[in-house]
Structure 1
């Protein structure tokens, strides 16, 4: 699937998904995922009651340190994530529990709103270095308000790192059309993980 600004833009990260359509890729060699078990970070996961949900995974053939740096150096997201327009750290110092950042991306026309800009404010709730991140927060656009929970897991496997991500969205607008919201979220997660993989592997090959 081509990585376009329109498919990636509606992602809350903080990168509009739905529960019921679980997007889990086939398990790569060396991986032991549990498709029915929600991803967690320090015991906390996504919103179990959310109707909009998606989950995907991929093996990235690059050092874990490279992948972790790309994902947590949020101010540099626009250099490798095509749809991310701006990112502002709302705190200083190392990326840690309590770190917050505000980022924007274009939002394509959809049943809830016309084409506009999506503003996401994410706060790290749990983090374990080189292992997992969980952040939460609202994504807001004209006529649209989404509350999201996003979990990332990083596990070393033979030949690389298994990166798994799961996200849920709640809000009246996305819940009014769960299939559409789920597809937008799923496409966004696929694009995010694809760009993370491409960038990390390119750097590892230098």
Structure 2
């Protein structure tokens, strides 16, 4: 794992409002979304990295059928149609989304005073999955002089009027561990963005009118 090779690389990491290795987004936080301290989420008994210093979790209720929410989240090749920060994506396997499925995707990093525009390549592999219930994937995000390893868990639970969606993610790597508070804030904002996009898209497809 490469270290921080220059101050410009570190500046690029900590001045970009995105989260890598699984969560990216710039949408406003969904109404009612709240951080969830305490017990970590799991999928088939496996959770996030227990040793990671950078971690965040959040949840919200989406007023749409579980089948709609699940399809949006697992039809990864269509992510760019509802998540602007996902620039390109490619399934690395075929057939139903399942344990062992893998996908490679990219997201842009805009220019800042220290570095020019660039992009990150993320390769995610599904380690655990239970249909309409949970997903856990892992994988690295790699850019010039940068590597972050992420573990991301999603839980989906039917509730009155919709679906309770909970998500938790951890990041490890020299760059994020060099400034844990900033990296944690970036991660949390990314989770809020992704959940906001998922909520808005699912509810629009279900015909739900926000109050």
Structure showing greater Rg? 2
Same fold (TM over 0.5): yes
Matched residue, 1:162: 164
| 1:35 CA drift (Å) | 3.5
> Alpha-carbon deviation of 1:180?
1.1
Q: 1:10 aligns with which of 11, 19, 28?
A: 19
Task: Tell me if 1:177 matches 2:179.
Answer: yes
Structure 1 residue 113, shift from structure 2 partner: 6.7
Structure 1, unpaired ranges of 5+:
1-5, 16-23, 27-33
State the TM-score, normalizing by the size of structure 1.
Answer: 0.84
- Structure-2 change in CA distance of 1:108 and 1:168 (3 Å): farther
Question: Which residue does 1:18 correspond to in 2?
Answer: none
Moved over 3 A (4+): 112-115
Partner of 2:34: 25
- Deviation at residue 125 of structure 1 after TM alignment: 0.1
Aligned residues: 185
RMSD: 2.0
- Write the distance in 1 (CA, Å) between the matches of 2:101 and 2:205: 26
Alignment partners' CA distance in 1, 2:115 and 2:149: 16
In the alignment, structure 2 segments of 5+ residues that lack a partner are 1-15, 25-32
Separation of aligned partners in 1, 2:95 and 2:193: 28
Greater alpha carbon shift after TM alignment, 118-127 vs 177-186: 177-186
